Amino acid sequence: MTKNQTILILDDETKILLGLKALLQRSGYKVTTCDSSLKALEILKERSFDLILCDIMMPIMNGYKFKEAISANPVTRDIPFIFLTARTSLADKLKGYEEGADEYITKPFDPKELAAHVQAVFRRQEITRQANTLEMSRQIERIQTEISQNISHELRTPMTQILLALEMILRQKFSSPEDLTWFVETALTQSHRLNTLIDDMIFLNNHDSGPSMIFRQNVDIESSLASRISVRQDLYMDKNLQVEVDFDENVVVHAIPNEFRQAVIHLVDNAMKFSPPNSVVHIQLAPNGEGGCVLTVTDQGPGIPVEMQEKVFERYFQISQGITRDYGGLGVGLTICRIIARSLNGDVTFLPSEHGCRVQMILPPAQLDMP
């Protein structure tokens, strides 16, 4: 443990301030002194300290009130605190600890004893810091392991189905064309799913590498939305979802086509994934000026609690966790949607909804960068 910590000493007696400053500086600490609680509060607005030593009997604002003031401030409330006082009764000591002091030292004090108390406070602080660091490392390791398991699971599942379907196509003689078609469609559907996962990982890797150039092009609505929606619907065929598509014929979107398609796929996929069987998914695309649009996707699923609606935009965050969770996916879909929308000066947000979930992507008007 190093001795370059900073200490603020607050006392209205000049001799005590000078003596404490000299003592603690000889011990290797950086010391600032102050003779007024109000002045000390102003100092704390400008800089932070590793420890505060404070006399209780201070004019205008006593030590207890000063401790209350810094405890009410999130920036200063966790600074270790030692009361210095001539009050020696048990009741006074208990009040000092009740106010949140780490130590309570009575005057007159032995210099070596005071230095030992200060060192003890810093030692406890260091032990706590190390414990917190260790716990944080454990949490990070757990999250990394879980993410790795999820990625492996999400990649292996479609690949297994693709290989199984292809093996059946090659090795079996189908008497019914419908059976052959089913295996071919299964392989194709799972290939789309696997391709989406790979696209997501490539996108995030590129995003983490730094900002890329944005070249807005005219987006083909049919290939970017209509056909992609059909592909996702095939993936959830067993749910028998009713998909209502409402595209305004006047919509013109100027964006990066591949990224726009990627965002649309995730918004639609989330709606279908969380929708109960035989329910309705409504997809609406409306113009928002030349080159802009408003895409609103509504489902009848369980919805997302208001307090979680910003949390789900965090990378890898999922309301249910682990490979045994209720719904698949890596927990990056909404993250990618928001990155894409915001790169185009738009955004993705949740709209109020009594039932289910309504998510909206807004892109503002924009001129073409490339024809």
Exposed, middle or buried by CB within 10 Å (0-12, 13-18, 19+), for 213?
exposed
Using CB atoms within 10 Å of the CB of residue 70, give its burial: 0 to 12 exposed, 13 to 18 middle, 19+ buried. Answer: buried
Domain boundary among 170, 187, 209: 209
Domain-ending residue, one of 209, 239, 263: 209
The reported pTM is 0.59
pLDDT by residue, tens only, the chain of 371 residues = 456 789 998 888 888 888 888 988 888 889 999 988 899 999 998 888 999 888 888 888 888 888 888 888 888 888 888 888 765 555 555 565 565 566 677 777 778 888 888 888 888 888 888 888 888 778 767 766 666 666 777 778 888 888 888 888 888 777 778 888 888 888 888 888 888 888 888 888 888 887 777 888 999 887 767 777 887 888 888 899 999 999 998 899 999 988 998 999 899 999 999 999 999 999 999 999 999 999 999 999 988 888 888 988 988 776 444 444 444 567 788 999 999 999 999 999 999 988 889 999 999 999 988 66
Q: Of 209, 240, 257, which residue sits at a domain end?
A: 209
Give me the residues paired with residue 106 across strands.
Answer: 85
Pair (204, 234) in one structural domain: no
Pairing mode of beta strands 51-55, 6-10: parallel
Tell me the β-bridge partners of 363. Answer: 293
Instruction: Give all strands (DSSP E) within 158-270, no chain letters.
Output: 217-218, 242-247, 254-255
H or E element that contains 285: strand 280-287
Please count the residues of the chain: 371
In a domain? residue 325: yes
Verify that 225 and 346 share a domain, yes or no.
yes
Instruction: Mention every residue, 6+ apart, whose C-beta is less than 8 A from residue 54.
Output: 9, 10, 11, 40, 63, 66, 67, 81, 82, 83, 84
The CATH number given to whatever domain includes residue 179 is: 1.10.287.130
CATH of the domain at 311: 3.30.565.10
Residue-range definition of the domain harbouring residue 164: 145-209
The 3-state DSSP class for residue 352 equals: coil
Whether 345 and 309 map to the same domain: the answer is: yes
